[in-house]
């Protein structure tokens, strides 16, 4: 039984013996004691008053006496109004530390065959443009949540749905046909996704010229946008694609292959992967049969023009188009089909979509339509909605070519990390290869941490320079803390300082040391909380607090020069454990830590 369980058991016994009352366990709230008070755990007494029939202070005092007499780990207690603060013996924390040293993956739960099966979809790029800053947040968030869910004991499957068909894809294809002159990634010295994205921008530029020309001829703006020859050609190309025209399919396959190669390079740089990749070209028809069945059963309605809709007005929403008048499907139809396919194929318990908050309504409608169609698992869809990422100079627009490519951002981060590290003298005595490796590790750590430390639901402003700061709440600060720990341990090894496998529980430890052990104690519950809320920000801010606490300990306490061998041994073991958890928790964010900086 863990210590919280032991306290709860004794509180229940205390009420039986002191007040002859039975209190339900669910009323017992045990929290971490706030820093301004003395204590390790705090029991909230207010819910007990109807059982004790005493004042909050007296109830807490009587309960404190009972717990101190019956829970051997408790050293002392104090009462602040209706809060009972419990202070534990040093030996409790030392015994806890010794126990954790025996655990290979402390804080992580191993998934079992019958553990919850969760599929998480993230990335979902379009093959008409490269990955940009918005995709970076999506990918980092999706990957990190998957890692955290795994660490909490879930069976996790990571999937990507590539949007590889549609009018936007045809726009890039048509522009390349007209103005590409046979250009390839090799001849242009561009990544394939960047090359194709350039032609998407080119289409928009030429299209706007045509629209302006038509408007000047007296055609209304709305009609000009519909009649522009380029758009008409792109629509014809889409029809050819849907009719499997050989030439159109060949061009589509060639240009998509360029893009996939480019995507893979970016994914590799980001350290992102997937267990399965779906393609919209293979899934966009999946929902049509389900929609037809829903129409047959009277769940859906058909309008005079032949289009099929879900009427959600009684649910406070509007009508949602599922099939156009010409019988073609829309995104919602596809999502209905892919959701059904995934639950059927993999027998999953939950499906998480990592998609920006501009799609909140779409996923609300998707779950409701599926529920009306009779799918009981519709309640197990979850939209992990996240806010937009902006740069100091404002928003980005793909069509206008003002997006920040993920690759350009990564390169800028690496150069910024190099400059900052050189200014601080952190790369002195490194070989060129070591410099490149460390700089890339710092750059990626800075990027990932800066993005993931923000609550997913919030919009955020990303500042590359600010993210690479070796002080403050940043990835490099935490990475440097880890490197500092490795340096201490290496010095101990070089000085032939022997470490025992555990800590003597007879030593006296100070508050800084206890604070570190308490943070180690919090690690498993932090993982569970982050998994339950799908928030890597909880892990990020936990690591920052941990690294900050270690640096204060490092500043206040001698380690290698400590004359008491038992205390020196304890501090080395404690430092080693802190390093392991920093490395472990940073891995949940997809971040590597260098051994030296």
List pLDDT tens digits, range 117-156. Answer: 999 999 999 999 999 888 999 999 999 999 999 999 999 9
Domain positions in the chain:
3-88, 117-296+329-390, 297-328, 406-587
- Neighbouring-strand partners of residue 268: none
In Å, how far are 33, 240, 305, 317 from 302, measured between CA atoms?
A: 61, 27, 8, 18
Structure tokens at 364: 């609300």
Identify whether the C-beta of residue 197 lies closer than 8 Å to the C-beta of residue 203: no
Res. 380: pLDDT tops 90: yes
What gap in Å lies between CA 407 and CA 130, rounded to an integer?
A: 9
Domain 3-88 -> CATH class: alpha beta
Architecture of domain 406-587: Orthogonal Bundle (1.10)
Res. 395: pLDDT tops 50: no
Nearest-CA neighbor of 559 among 490, 505, 504, 502?
490
Res. 326: pLDDT tops 70: yes
Rounded (5°) CA angle 526-532-537: 55
Structure tokens at 437: 């490796």
Give counts: helices (H), strands (E), the chain.
22, 14
What is the value of pTM for the model shown?
0.92
Res. 318: pLDDT tops 80: yes
Domain 117-296+329-390: what homologous superfamily? Answer: HUPs (3.40.50.620)
Instruction: State the chain's maximal CA–CA distance in angstroms.
Output: 93
Residue-level pLDDT at 1: 64
In Å, how far are 82, 157, 357 from 316, measured between CA atoms?
A: 44, 34, 20
Res. 505: pLDDT tops 90: no
- Neighbouring-strand partners of residue 301: 309
Residue-level pLDDT at 538: 98
Residue-level pLDDT at 393: 65
Torsion of CA 142, 148, 153, 156, to 10 degrees: 10
Weakest mean pLDDT among 48-52, 251-255, 364-368, 418-422 = 418-422
Residue-level pLDDT at 89: 94
Identify whether the C-beta of residue 291 lies closer than 8 Å to the C-beta of residue 336: yes
Nearest-CA neighbor of 278 among 119, 131, 172?
119
What gap in Å lies between CA 474 and CA 449, rounded to an integer?
A: 6
Structure tokens at 33: 């004691």
- Neighbouring-strand partners of residue 162: 279
């Amino acid at each position: 039984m863990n210590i919280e369980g032991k306290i709860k058991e004794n509180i229940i016994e205390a009420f039986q013996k002191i007040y002859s009352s039975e209190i339900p366990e669910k009323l017992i709230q045990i929290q971490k004691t706030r820093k301004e008070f003395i204590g390790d755990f705090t029991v909230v007494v207010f819910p007990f008053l109807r059982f004790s029939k005493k004042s909050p202070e007296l109830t807490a005092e009587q309960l404190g006496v009972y717990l101190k007499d019956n829970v051997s780990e408790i050293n002392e207690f104090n009462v602040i109004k209706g809060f009972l603060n419990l202070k534990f013996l040093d030996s409790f924390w030392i015994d806890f530390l010794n126990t954790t040293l025996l655990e290979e993956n402390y804080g992580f739960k191993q998934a079992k065959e019958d553990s919850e099966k969760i599929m998480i979809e993230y990335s979902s790029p379009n093959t008409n443009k490269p990955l940009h800053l918005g995709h970076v947040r999506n990918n980092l968030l999706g990957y990190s949540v998957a890692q955290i869910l795994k660490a909490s004991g879930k069976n996790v499957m990571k999937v990507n749905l590539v949007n590889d068909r549609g009018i936007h894809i045809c726009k890039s294809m048509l522009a390349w046909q007209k103005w590409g002159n046979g250009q390839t990634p090799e001849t242009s010295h561009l990544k394939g996704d960047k090359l194709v994205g350039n032609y998407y921008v080119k289409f928009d530029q030429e299209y706007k010229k045509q629209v302006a020309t038509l408007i000047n001829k007296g055609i209304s703006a709305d009609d000009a946008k519909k009649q522009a020859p380029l758009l008409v050609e792109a629509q014809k190309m889409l029809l050819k694609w849907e009719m499997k025209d050989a030439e159109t399919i060949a061009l589509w396959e060639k240009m998509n292959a360029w893009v996939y190669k480019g995507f893979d390079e970016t994914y590799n740089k980001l350290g992102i992967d997937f267990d399965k990749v779906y393609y919209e070209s293979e899934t966009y028809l999946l929902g049509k049969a389900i929609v037809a069945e829903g129409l047959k059963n009277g769940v859906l309605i058909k309008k005079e023009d032949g289009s099929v809709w879900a009427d959600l007005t009684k649910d406070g929403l509007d009508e949602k188009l599922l099939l156009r008048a010409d019988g073609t499907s829309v995104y919602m139809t596809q999502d209905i089909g892919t959701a059904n396919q995934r639950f059927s194929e993999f027998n999953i318990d939950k499906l998480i979509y990592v998609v920006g908050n501009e799609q909140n309504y779409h996923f609300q409608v998707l779950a409701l339509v599926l529920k009306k169609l009779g799918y009981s698992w519709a309640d197990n869809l979850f939209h992990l909605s996240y806010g937009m990422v902006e740069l100091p100079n404002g928003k980005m627009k793909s069509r206008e070519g003002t997006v920040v490519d993920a690759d350009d951002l990564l390169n800028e981060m690496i150069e910024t990390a190099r400059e900052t590290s050189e200014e601080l003298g952190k790369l002195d005595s490194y070989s060129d290869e070591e410099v490149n490796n460390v700089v890339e590790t710092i750059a990626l750590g800075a990027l990932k941490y800066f993005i993931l430390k923000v609550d997913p639901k919030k919009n955020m402003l990303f500042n590359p320079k600010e993210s690479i700061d070796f002080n403050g709440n940043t990835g490099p600060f935490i990475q440097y803390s880890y490197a500092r720990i490795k340096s201490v341990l290496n010095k101990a090894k070089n000085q032939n300082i022997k470490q025992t496998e555990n800590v003597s529980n007879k030593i006296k430890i100070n508050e800084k040391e206890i604070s570190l052990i308490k943070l180690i104690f919090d690690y498993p519950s932090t993982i569970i909380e982050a998994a339950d809320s799908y928030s890597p920000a909880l892990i990020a801010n936990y690591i920052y607090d941990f690294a900050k606490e270690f640096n204060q300990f490092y500043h206040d306490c001698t380690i290698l020069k400590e004359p008491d061998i038992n205390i020196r041994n304890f501090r080395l073991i404690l430092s080693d454990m802190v390093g392991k958890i920093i490395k472990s928790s940073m891995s949940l964010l997809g971040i590597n830590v260098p051994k030296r900086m």
